[in-house]
């Protein structure tokens, strides 16, 4: 990429496969529930309802922000609502699902192929690297520690440690100010179209959309990313 001096990365579903494992994690957890407690229930139906309620929370800017601030309570509310929807709520099921979902989820979380090679290459080429991620400090710091990612970044901005997070444009401006760069000298890479394409481009950054789920842009999506990738390992070609 020409004239780029700094690369800003998102974390979840950009560097690590986190949200992409949600469906698999809930299906496994619900199957374990039905099998483990010998319940005469359809585990796929339970998982489907939990996923539906979960998606409703994360699709809304206000409720998703509250969920990021207290993920445990948000997940508890989602599962409680889903079980009540199906008229099968009791404390035993709720406790089992909450305790085992997190275990199953963490087993599936992993760094995307090519990420370590990409970060190593960018450091070797003297790009300035920033991580800009939403979420609670302890959770996001835990992921960085688990996957040994912190060492690659010159700057880490986590919503839970700042007065604001994405898509507030000030978070990108803070990163630019830290590196003493103009917007056109930086690129934002992430999976969230509104947060990592629209918002940064509105202040002049370039953007790379990690289109993990092969989504189609809507006709009214008039902000185009500079680059679209489906796999992080393909991004190395743009900096090599």
The pTM of the whole model exceeds 0.85: yes
Contacts of 194 (CB under 8 A, 6+ apart): 167
Give the residue from 185, 221, 223, 192 showing the smallest Cα distance to 209: 192
The CA-atom distances, in angstroms, between 62 and each of 46, 115, 139, 189, 192 are: 26, 31, 20, 23, 16
Q: What is the pLDDT of residues 185-235, one digit of tens each?
A: 999 999 999 999 999 999 999 999 999 888 887 766 788 999 999 999 999
Q: What is the pLDDT of residues 158-177, one digit of tens each?
A: 999 999 999 999 999 999 99
Integer Cα distance of 68 and 65 in angstroms: 5
Q: What is the pLDDT of residues 48-59, one digit of tens each?
A: 999 999 999 988
- Whether a cis peptide bond, with omega within 30° of 0, leads into 146 is no
What CATH fold (topology level) applies to the domain 6-17+110-238?
Rossmann fold (3.40.50)
Instruction: Collapse the DSSP code of 227 into the 3-class scheme (helix H, G, I; strand E, B; otherwise coil) and give the result.
Output: strand
Instruction: Please list, residue by residue across 52-67, b when 16 or more beta carbons sit within 10 angstroms of its beta carbon and e when fewer do.
Output: ebbeebeeeeeeeeeb
Determine what percent of the chain is predicted with pLDDT higher than 90.
Answer: 84
Q: What is the pLDDT of residues 68-87, one digit of tens each?
A: 889 899 999 999 999 999 99
Q: Are 233 and 112 in contact (CB under 8 A)?
A: yes
């Amino acid at each position: 990429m020409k004239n780029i001096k700094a690369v800003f990365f998102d974390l979840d579903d950009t560097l690590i496969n986190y949200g992409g494992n949600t469906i698999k994690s809930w299906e496994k957890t619900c199957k374990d529930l039905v099998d483990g407690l010998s319940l005469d229930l359809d585990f796929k139906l339970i998982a489907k309802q939990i996923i539906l309620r979960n998606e409703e929370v994360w699709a809304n800017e206000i409720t998703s922000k509250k969920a990021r601030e207290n993920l445990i309570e948000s997940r508890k509310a989602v599962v409680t609502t889903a079980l009540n929807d199906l008229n099968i709520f009791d404390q035993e099921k709720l406790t089992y699902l909450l305790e085992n979902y997190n275990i199953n989820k963490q087993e599936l979380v992993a760094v995307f192929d090519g990420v370590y090679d990409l970060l190593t290459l960018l450091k070797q080429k003297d790009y300035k690297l920033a991580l800009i991620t939403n979420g609670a400090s302890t959770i996001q710091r835990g992921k960085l520690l688990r996957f040994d990612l912190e060492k690659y970044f010159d700057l880490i901005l986590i919503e839970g440690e700042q007065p604001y997070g994405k898509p507030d444009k000030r978070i990108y401006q803070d990163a630019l100010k830290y590196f003493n760069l103009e917007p056109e000298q930086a690129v934002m890479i992430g999976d969230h179209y509104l947060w990592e394409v629209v918002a940064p481009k509105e202040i002049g950054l370039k953007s790379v959309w990690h289109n993990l789920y092969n989504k189609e842009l809507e006709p009214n999506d008039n902000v185009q990313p500079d680059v679209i990738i489906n796999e992080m390992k393909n991004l190395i070609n743009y900096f090599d």
